[in-house]
Amino acid sequence: MIELKDVNQKYGGTQILWNLNMKIEKGSRTCIMGRNGVGKTTLLKCIMGMLPVSTGSVTINDLDMTKKSVEQRPEIGVGYVPQGRHIFGQLTVEENLKVSLSCKRQPSKTIPESVFELFPVLKEMLHRRGGDLSGGQQQQLAIARALVLNPDILILDEPNEGIQPNIVQLIRDVLLKLNKEQGMTIVLVEQKLPFARAVGEQFHLMEKGEVVASGPMADLDDELVGKYLAV
Ligand SMILES: Nc1ncnc2c1ncn2[C@@H]1O[C@H](COP(=O)(O)OP(=O)(O)OP(=O)(O)O)[C@@H](O)[C@H]1O
């Protein structure tokens, strides 16, 4: 389980997260939602150790994550697909995937075949430079790079931004499959309601750095959508 208790976070003098509390159950599919700028990416970066929390606690399976480095997250079984993908444009698809293998959790030096079963285009593009791939292919690579380490928890920050509909469907199917067949916990920051509803079982809705509503996805009704998501 991922648990955040009374988390405050500041960029310099500007406070972004305010006494934020959130629980994400093991094996769940959870969507974190909210309008632009409410602090969703900041929250994920705090979970990933990319930003320090000012006060409060972040635990994963009862381990205090505020004391662990970014590099220790994969060993604990946490995979991260950042907003904007951040693949290495000058490296080939194969090299991008192998970068992850340098992490201790994966004893093998071979890219698991399972990532190519999920994203067959990556096998075809294995020797192509990351920077030459389309946006949709880059996103598949970014997800595959996290999966190479066989995480128990996969955290994705708006994986569908600027992606064509057939790849959005593929990503949806992959996330559902990973959750159903491997029990992988899926944590998704998502602004698009249809995708969030298709993937998420649980939601947390954020506004101005706080969680304002949480529950099963069926409880995300028109009133909440109108109040906290509509633009
Ligand atoms: N490096 C930074 N320095 C200062 N302020 C920042 C920094 N990064 C983000 N912010 C501010 O923190 C607030 C929350 O940003 P964040 O990216 O976490 O929101 P978000 O909900 O993920 O938004 P989006 O949906 O647009 O990605 C915004 O007001 C943003 O301008």
Check pLDDT > 60 for residue 104.
no
Rg value, the chain, Cα: 17
Instruction: Look up the domain containing 216 and give its range.
Output: 2-228
Q: For ligand 1, what atom is nearest to the CA of residue 11?
A: 4
Q: Domains in the chain: how many in total?
A: 1
Flag whether the ipTM exceeds 0.90.
yes
pLDDT tens-digit readout, 161-199: 889 999 999 999 999 999 999 999 999 999 899 999 999
Q: What's the pLDDT at 135?
A: 93
pLDDT tens-place string over residues 43-79: 999 999 999 999 999 999 999 998 888 888 888 899 9
Distance 84 CA to ligand 1 centre (A): 14
Question: How does DSSP classify residue 110?
Answer: S
**Candidate from 11, 31, 190 with most ligand 1 atoms within 8 A of CB, to mutate:** 11
The token duo for 57 is 């606690």
Is the Cβ atom of 231 under 6 angstroms away from ligand 1? no
For 186, the token pair is 């899926």
Residue 105 confidence class, pLDDT cut points 50, 70, 90: low
Is the CB of 40 inside a 6 Å radius of any atom of ligand 1?
A: yes
Closest-CA residue to 94 (of 151, 146, 145): 145
Q: Is 34 in the pocket of ligand 1 (CB under 6 A)?
A: yes
Grouping H, G, I as helix, E, B as strand and the rest as coil, residue 182 is helix
CATH of the domain at 188: 3.40.50.300
Q: What is the pTM of this model?
A: 0.94
Q: Is the CB of 37 under 6 A from ligand 1?
A: yes
* Torsions phi, psi for 22 (to 5 deg): -160, 140
Facing residues of 101 across strands? Answer: none
Handedness of CA 132, 138, 140, 141 (dihedral sign): positive
